[in-house]
């Protein structure tokens, strides 16, 4: 393996087996061949679309919750190129309605994300994006824009965009530049390759590599709103975009499933990272779930013994 920047190479050391440990993969609602095809598309072109994988009843419930929150909060466009001039955005969804708890752990989406990142991945954030008539196209960008690592690189982020209404080119379907996750730099807004609209029916999910160049489309309709929810994940050693520890009240967090707690960072990554005085961060919930000692859990002792 060539050494970086001309430095002398050193012998590669095998990674200890206890550092390779990850939680078990989530059981998938998608058949294995379809899951493998989606993963291959994600790796090759930087995106894939899972058509009509979300239950219509859940779609309706999510739309209802978003509309209620928008009304009660007096939501208004934030008026900047990233968040839009005719778009309503709602952040921190897990704190606002229990119905959103089904999204990060959905068995038609999470298994693909786990395979693209790793099963120890984290929920980076959840945002409802309601693009209104007259909206301008969002600047093309990758979601991992702030990650200062050489490009291209292995996936560090993975974004799933749930279509809660039909996504069409006219109403603001996300624009994608296929294969751009393999670029060595960042997009130049004055000289961009051709993009395509991610058109899909309600109940579908667009999954993209965090390095893929993309942006919300413009809405040229007169009266059609395009509602989507961005459910974003990052590798377990990265900092999430939205702070689930402080943003979601503890009494709500205690209602989460164990898998959702793990995604929100209430367990140890690789049995080490994220501890509080050597204990799992879930200790702050006080209900005994996800209890574990850093470096000394039964699973890590067993793996270390196999290593020796």
What are the sequence ranges of the domains in the chain? 25-248, 266-308
Q: Across residues 147-151, what is the average pLDDT?
A: 92
Between residues 18 and 110, which one has the greater pLDDT? 110
d(CA 237, CA 252): 25
Residue 302: what pLDDT? 59
- The answer on pLDDT for 240 being more than 80 is yes
Average pLDDT, the chain: 90
Domain 25-248 superfamily per CATH: q2cbj1_9rhob like domain (2.60.120.620)
Coil, helix or strand for 294?
A: coil
33-82 pLDDT per residue, tens:
899 999 999 999 999 999 999 999 999 999 999 999 999 999 999 999 99
Candidates 246, 235, 290, 233; CA nearest to 267 is 290
- The answer on pLDDT for 4 being more than 70 is no
Using the 8-state DSSP alphabet, how is residue 160 labeled?
E
| Per-state percent for the chain, helix, strand, coil, to nearest 5 | 30, 20, 55
pTM assigned to the model: 0.88
Residue 31: what pLDDT? 82
Residue 10: what pLDDT? 40
Residue 295: what pLDDT? 86
């Amino acid at each position: 393996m060539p050494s970086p920047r001309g430095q002398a190479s050193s012998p590669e050391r095998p990674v200890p087996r206890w550092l390779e440990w990850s939680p078990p993969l989530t059981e998938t609602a998608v058949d294995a061949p379809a899951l493998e095809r989606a993963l291959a598309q994600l790796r090759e072109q930087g995106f894939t679309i899972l058509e009509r994988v979300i239950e219509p009843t859940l779609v309706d419930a999510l739309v209802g919750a978003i509309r209620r929150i928008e009304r009660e909060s007096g939501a208004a466009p934030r008026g900047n190129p990233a968040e839009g001039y005719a778009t309503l955005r709602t952040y921190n969804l897990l704190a606002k309605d229990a119905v959103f708890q089904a999204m990060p752990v959905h068995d038609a989406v999470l298994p693909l994300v786990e395979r693209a990142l790793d099963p120890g991945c984290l929920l980076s954030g959840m945002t409802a994006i309601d693009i209104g008539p007259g909206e301008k196209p969002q600047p093309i960008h990758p979601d991992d824009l702030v990650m200062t690592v050489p490009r291209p690189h292995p996936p560090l982020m993975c974004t799933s965009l749930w279509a809660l209404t039909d996504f069409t080119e006219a109403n603001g379907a996300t624009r994608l530049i296929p294969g751009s996750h393999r670029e060595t730099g960042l997009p130049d807004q004055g000289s961009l390759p051709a993009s395509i609209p991610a058109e899909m029916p309600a109940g579908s999910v667009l999954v993209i590599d965090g390095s893929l160049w993309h942006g919300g489309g413009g809405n040229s309709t007169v009266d059609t709103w395009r509602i989507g929810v961005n459910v974003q994940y990052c590798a377990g050693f990265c900092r999430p975009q939205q702070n689930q520890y402080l943003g979601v009240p503890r009494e709500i967090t205690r209602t989460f499933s164990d898998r959702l707690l793990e995604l929100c960072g209430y367990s140890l990554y690789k049995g080490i990272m994220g501890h509080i005085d050597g204990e799992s961060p879930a200790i702050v919930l006080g209900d005994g779930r996800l209890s574990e000692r850093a470096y000394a859990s039964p699973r890590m002792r067993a793996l270390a013994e196999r290593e020796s």
